Amino acid sequence: MLLDTWIPGFIPDLVKAGQVMLALGTGMAIGNMRESGFSKTLKLCLVVMLLGLCIAFFMSFKTLVLTLLALTFLSGGLVAGGVLNKQLILGTAIVCGLGLGSSVLPMSGQFLAGHVLILANLAGIGLLVWGSATLSNWAQHRQTALWPNIGIRIMGSWLLAISALMLALELAGMGSL
C-alpha cells in the first residue's frame, strides 16, 4: 500500500483487519439503541476513541491484536443477539472506543512523522463507526420490513464467528503473532 511505502510498518495488516472489524461491530452495536440514546452513545464512543490514544503507549502488539479481536467478539455478539440493553451497549461503546483509539498509533515508532496519518486513521475509523451505526439504527428501528434487521444480525454473527476463529488461532499459537 501507499501508506506502507511512505512509513514502513505504520499499522500492521493484522491490526488493520482488527480495526475494521471492530469499527463495524461497534457501530452496529450502537445502532441497536433506540433513538433516545443513540446519538449520545455514538458521540461518546467517538470522544472516547481520543482517550484510547493514551492507552496505546502501554500496550504491546500482541495485547493490542488480542484486545481488538476480543472486543470484536463482544460487539458481534451484541449485534447477532439483537441486544437492546442501554447500559450494556453504552459500556460496550466505551470499551470498544478505547480499543479503537489505542489501535491508531504507528507500530514503527515514528510517532511524530506520522501525526497526520494518526489523525487520518482516527477520522477514518470514526467515520466507519458512525456510518455502520447509522445504517444499523436505520435498518433496525426505522424500517417496517423485517429483512434489514435480519441482515444486520447476520453481519453481527459473521463478525462474531471471524473474531472467534482469529482469537482461537492466535491463542493456540497458530496465528501470525
55-64 pLDDT, tens digit each: 887 888 888 8
Displacement of CA 25 from its chain's centroid (Å): 6
Q: Identify the CA nearest to 141 among candidates 37, 9, 24.
A: 37
- Rounded percentage of the chain residues whose pLDDT exceeds 70: 88
- Give the pLDDT score at 9: 55
The Cα 47–Cα 67 span in angstroms is 19
- Give the pLDDT score at 2: 36
- Give the pLDDT score at 8: 52
Q: How confident is the model at residue 1 (pLDDT cuts 50, 70, 90)?
A: very low
The Cα 28–Cα 158 span in angstroms is 12
* pLDDT tens profile 21-64: 999 999 999 999 887 789 999 999 999 998 988 888 788 888 88
Displacement of CA 57 from its chain's centroid (Å): 19
Angle at 3 (CA atoms; ends 120, 21), nearest 5 degrees: 65
Q: What is the mean pLDDT of the chain?
A: 85
